[in-house]
Amino acid sequence: MSTSPSETSPAVAPAATVRIIASPQSWVEGEAVRQLEAVARLPGMRLAVGLPDLHPGKGAPVGAAFESEGFLYPYLVGSDIGCGMGLWDVDLPVRKTKAERWAAKLDLEGAWEGDAEAFLAEHGGKATGFEAALGTVGGGNHFAEVQRVETVHDARVFEALGLRAERLLLLVHSGSRGLGEAILRTHVDRHAAGGLAAGTAEARTYLERHDGAVTWARANRALVAQRTLDGIGATGRRVLDVCHNSVTVRHSDGRVGWLHRKGAAPSDEGPVVIPGSRGALSYLVLPVGPGEHSAHSLAHGAGRKWTRTAARERLKERFTAESLTRTVFKSHVVCEDRDLLFEEAPPAYKAIDRVVTDLVEAGLVRVVATLAPVLTYKTRGRSAE
């Protein structure tokens, strides 16, 4: 479904084009559409795109991208600045998988014992005061997941990435932890959900801190991967790393604009992994086409179907906590936070195959491979401060 302002017919017509990229088979909650239209009415907004994983967020929808001119909006990026997905090729064959043993011993909680400042410097970052959390997954929908290749759909692209079907992979979803939250809080304390005029001192200060958080988040994913690989007795090579919560400058036709992504993967940085829930496949895809129609963005995951509260209430009547530590793929789930186990259960999410099919049918991606979970790490129940 692709909509324009005249087709959405909100109470007050959006100033920007509103476009939802989703088929009739995809369920998009009305509140998410309302939030998308509200963002379209912000000063300077030119385009608001909802992707197939679109769902309501805190004041602004998730699974969306927004293009503005003259103003940028930190609130649209949210608190987890720099959050994204990193994929590692693991130097370990699938036949040597020891998921049950790994699940029993893998522990990514607590501060890393190495030199965090040196690690950040090595990855282009600098100390921020949040180094105790560096190398930790975090809460919510974040994870580190050991995966196996289910099916290769495009052998040429798959092999060009240096991947082999018989080897394991590692997907890490995490962000800037408390750093991004502190940056957003500073902005909200002064401006609430308001934007910043481009080119002002306040905008420059936010962008500098934002860019630092993006770099910090990328380093965090690298350290989560290193700790995971150490824990399973393997080494790995980073294949890709993309950010899905950010604001970036874009130059087009002599105009300077700002592209906000809130739970939207970039379509202009090469291959992307779009994960399902912990009990579903993940999709390695190659973006295709020029990208203007979708604000150069793709879905970043399956997207929530139920709120966390609803998921807990509904699923505690159907499942035991113990049953949710195994999946239909016979993979293991490490999650010692009982509430989180239910909140992040597979039924709480949309069907990832439908989300990706929508992207394929819209001419935005080509599927390279599907990846199945082997071990999903969420939390041991304690975290770094």
Residues annotated within the binding site are: 141-145, 173, 244-245, 282, 300-303, 378
Beta 45-55 vs 62-68: how paired, if at all?
antiparallel
> Treating both helix axes as pointing N-terminal to C-terminal, what angle do 178-191 and 201-232 enclose, rounded to 10 degrees?
160
Grouping H, G, I as helix, E, B as strand and the rest as coil, residue 327 is coil
CA of residue 55 relative to chain centroid, distance = 13
Report phi then psi at 176, rounded to 5.
-95, 10
For residues 274 and 282, the answer to whether their CB atoms sit within 8 Å is yes
DSSP 8-state secondary structure symbol assigned to residue 95: G
Annotated active-site residue 300? The verdict is yes
Distance CA 18, CA 7 (A): 9
Report phi then psi at 123, rounded to 5.
-105, 20
For residues 305 and 350, the answer to whether their CB atoms sit within 8 Å is yes
Kindly give the residue spans of alpha helices, DSSP state H, lying in the chain: 5-8, 30-40, 74-77, 99-105, 116-122, 155-160, 178-191, 201-232, 308-315, 338-343, 352-361
| Burial profile 155-180: b = 16 or more Cβ within 10 angstroms, e = fewer | eebbeebebeeebbbbbbbbbbbbbb
Q: How many CA atoms lie within 13 A of 286 on its CB side?
A: 15
**Strand pairing partners for 26?**
none
The residue from 55, 210, 300, 332 that is catalytic is 300
**Strand pairing partners for 86?**
172, 241
Distance CA 224, CA 216 (A): 12
Which amino acid appears at position 85 of this protein?
Answer: M
Q: Could you list the residues known to form a binding site for Mn(2+), using ranges.
A: 142, 173, 244
Q: Could you list the residues known to form a binding site for GMP, using ranges.
A: 141-145, 244-245, 282, 300-303, 378
What residues are annotated to the active site?
Answer: 300
